[in-house]
Amino acid sequence: MLFHTWVFLAFCLIVIPVYLLVRKNNQAMNVWFLIASYTFYGWWNPWYLLLLFGTSAIDYWMVLLMDRKQSTRKLWLIISLVSNFGFLAYFKYSGFITDNLNALFAQLGYGFELPNPAFYPNAALGRPDQGDWLFNEVILPIGISFHTFQSMSYTIDAYFGHIKTERSFIRFLTFVSFFPQLVAGPIERAHNLLPQLQGTPTITWQKVADGMSLFLVGFFKKVALADYLAKYVDQVYGDPNSREIQAVILAHQASALILATVAFGWQIYFDFSGYTDMARGIAEMMGFRLMLNFNNPYTATGLGDFWNRWHISLSTWFKDYVYFPLGGNRGALWETYRNMFVTMVISGVWHGAEWGFIIWGVLHAVARCATRDLELTAFYKERIPRIVKQLLVFTFITFTWIFFRAPAWANAWLIIQRIFWTGWDGPLDPQFPVLLACLVGAVWIYQLLYTSQSPLRQVLEWNVVKVGLAMLMIVYLLLVAQSSTKQFIYFQF
C-alpha cells in the first residue's frame, strides 16, 4: 500500500476517523493502530505478518525476562540479537551468501554445492524433495531491515537501562509496526515513540497544518520529481535485474551516463526523503512526532556533515549501537579509524545483498577516514569556500551512487569505464527534460540558501513564501504531474 495511491487515501479515510473516536482510550487506540498497521503491512503479502509478529514477540518477551532475573540479562539479549540477525540474514542475505560460496567451491574444484536457501524451511516441514516444496524461493519482506532494527534497539536500550520495560504487549506491537514509518523509516527509538503511544496524543490545528504541509512536500518529491527522474535514469541504466542491462549501458555515451548518475542521486533523495516527509506528515496530523530523517544532505560541506544529514535515523542507529560499542573515538587514533571504517562498511551491507552495496560502504569508509581530520582543521572550515566544499561532497556522493543503482560489480565497472575512458564520441541521448532540470536546480538553490547565512533565508521563512510554494506545488501536480504507482526505492531494504 503506497502513500501516493487512492488505496491509501481510502485506508486513511477509515483509519483516521476511528482513531479520533478512540484516541482518548489508550488501549483502544493501540488496538486500532495495531489492526491498521498490520493491515497496511499485510496488504503487500499477508505472510510478511508472521515475521513481523514473530520478531516483535521475541524481543518483547526477552526484555520481560531481563526484568525477572538480573543474572541472565545478557543471555536474553543474546537470544534477541541472534534471532533478529538470524531472520535478517536468512531473508536478506542467504541467497547472496549461497551463490558466492557455490561460485567459490566451483572455482576451487570442490564437488559440493549448497542447496537453495528455500530448501531449509521445506526440509523442516518434511518436504525435502524440490518437487514437493511449499516455498520455491526466499522472498525479501518489505522493510525488514527497518522494523528489525527498530525492535532490536528497544531490546538493547532496555538491557542497558536506558528505557523502562513496556508491559503492554499490544502497545509494543504497535510501536514496532506503527504504519506511517513501518516500511521505510524513520527508524524510531523507544524513548521517542513509546511515550507517545502511552498517552493521549494532542491534536491541534497547527499540527494538522504542519502535517499536511509535510505530506504535500513529500508527495511532490515522489510524484513530481523522483518518479520523473526515474524515467530518465531507467532509460540509461536499464533494469538491474535484466540480462540486457549491459547492452543498455553500452548504447549510451558518457554524457548521458554522467547525467543519469546525477539524476539518480536526486531521484533517491527525493524518493526516500519524500517517503519520510509523508510518513512524518501523516503522524503529525494524528498528533505524533517522528524524528527528522533528512536535513538537506546535498548542502553538506563534508562527509561527516553529510552523514549527519542523510538517513539520520539509520546513521544515529549505527553510531549508538555499532560505533560507540566498538570504542568510538575514545581510544588511539587508529582505533577511531577502525571503528569508523567498520561502521561504514556495515552500513553498506545493511542496504543490500550485492557486492555493489559493500563497495559503496567501503568507498564511504575510506573517504570518511581520509577526510575526518581535514574537516576539523581551520584551513578547511575557514579558507575553502563553502560552495566548493559542497560541490566536492556532492560529486563524491554522486559517484558512489553508481554502485547503488548498478549493484552488480560488472555493471558498475562498465559504467565507470564508459564515463572515464570511452563513450565520448556521440551526442547526449536521450535528452534530459529541461523543465525537470529547472525544478531540481530550483530545489538545490532553495536548500543552499536555506542552509546559508544569506539574508534571503529570512525571506524563505515568510508565510507568504511558504503558502506560495505550496500553491505552486499543487498547481504543478494538478496540471503537469501524472499519477504514479512506482514503488519507493528503500522498500527493498
Neighbours of 425 (CB within 10 A): 7
- Angle at which helices 144-159 and 73-88 cross, to 10°: 170
Within its chain, how far is the Cα of 356 from the centroid? 16
Number of residues assigned to the chain: 493
Distance CA 85, CA 82 (A): 5
Residue in the structure block whose three cell numbers are 556495515: 346
What are the cell numbers at 245? 542491462
What is the distance in angstroms between the CA of the first residue and the CA of the last residue of the chain? 16
Distance CA 81, CA 58 (A): 10
Say which of 4, 147, 311, 351 is annotated catalytic: 351
Going 289 to 41 to 81 to 62, the CA torsion angle's sign is positive
| Cβ–Cβ under 8 Å, residues 177 and 42 | no
SS3 letters across 96-165 = HHHHHHHHHHHHHCCCCCCCCCCHHHHHHCCCCCHHHCCCCCCCCCCCHHHHHHHHHHHHHHHHCCCCCC
| Cβ–Cβ under 8 Å, residues 493 and 352 | yes
Distance CA 392, CA 395 (A): 5
**219 contact partners, CB below 8 Å, separation of at least 6:** 3, 4, 274, 278, 477
4 annotated active-site: no
Residue in the structure block whose three cell numbers are 581551520: 378
Neighbours of 198 (CB within 10 A): 14
Q: What angle do CA 335, 304, 363 make, to 5 degrees?
A: 70
Q: Which residues are catalytic?
A: 351
